[in-house]
Amino acid sequence: MTVSLEQLRRCHFAVDLGAARTRVYVKGVGLVVDQPSAAAVNTRTGALIAVGELAEKMTGRTPAYIRVVRPVSGGTVVDIEMAQRMLRHLLGDKIRRALRRKTRLRAAACTPHDADPLAQRATIETLVGLGARRVELVDTLIAAAVGCGLPVERAQGTMIVVCGAAATQVAVLSLGSIVTAERIPVGGEAVDHAIVQHLRHAHELMLPSQSVRPLQLALSGNGLTAHGPLSTEIHGRDVATGLARSVRVDTAAVRDAIQTPLTAVLDGISKVLRDCPPDLVADLADVGIVMVGGSALLPGLDQMLREATGMPVNIAERPDVCAVQGIGAMLEGKIEPLILDPLAA
């Protein structure tokens, strides 16, 4: 981490561009944007029809000339121009006018732990297009740890698992820095895909993309590895006939179907623990693991990690906004300098 807290305090707003949702924090105001990272475009004219929640609702329901695009994939901006247009509409005229009045507008952004220079450059160019004269990049793992209140500035091991839509990041922190970390290319989208494929093969049913969440809730109970509801009714489209059809789905079979992507997350956590110094692992046995990110709310995932690692596992109070709240706290100067620059003192 090369950015210092002093540099972050000079920033006027911060952006967390996620594969699922985009969040914007304005210094002195708070969280002003929390919307899906989606935009609906008219392919004939190039006009932007909708962004955020409205564009998300259009997914799978548009005519051929309207396309719903996602300019962010895996925490990386893949379409800079569309990301800029989406952010302009999400911010609105009032907030953008207020930001333009700032002298030498500065911005901060969250980036994945192992983001390559090209991905970092894409994030910087996106915010420069919004008028930022300088952009500071903050590791998502540190921002999320600060946002959920972990004592990362101490000489004590703390472990955080950031469960995103496209990837899961695991890290052990101490003295405000990352000791060891791992990024697993498995997230909430992989779990959704496993559920959709299971229903297609086992029941010959095509499940609408926005109907996966109710089935995930049916997995709740005592956890993914325990006994929840025995079955639940799902509505979808028959693969052979194309007609609407309802089936009773055995939730135990769905639990088995999503074990494969979740096992990859467990393997990543095990690798981080193997690479971690023994003294810090001993700290983790008492402190445990903290889960953040929107996919941390997948029913029973915390129980599964608890049984696999034998350590306490807790979900942050508001896991989906921890990263942007953490970087917002840095902008507001609420964090001690030791966190990002241990040698500054």
The DSSP result for 314-326, as a single string, is EE-SSGGGHHHHH
Distance CA 321, CA 297 (A): 12
**Count of H-run helices and E-run strands, the chain:** 12, 18
The beta strand positions in 20-153, using DSSP E, are: 21-26, 30-36, 39-42, 48-51, 66-69, 72-73, 76-77, 106-111, 134-139
Distance CA 321, CA 237 (A): 35
Two structure tokens written together for 288: 């445990």
Percentages (nearest 5) of helix, strand, coil residues in the chain = 40, 25, 35
Q: Select from 115, 170, 142 the least CA-distant residue to 323.
A: 142
Residue whose structure tokens are 């950015």: 3
Annotated binding-site residues for ATP read 294-297
Residue whose structure tokens are 């489209």: 237
The DSSP result for 17-39, as a single string, is E-SSEEEEEETTTEEEEEEES-E
Annotated binding-site residues read 294-297
292 sits in which H/E element = strand 289-292
Grouping H, G, I as helix, E, B as strand and the rest as coil, residue 112 is coil
Distance CA 191, CA 294 (A): 13
Distance CA 93, CA 287 (A): 45
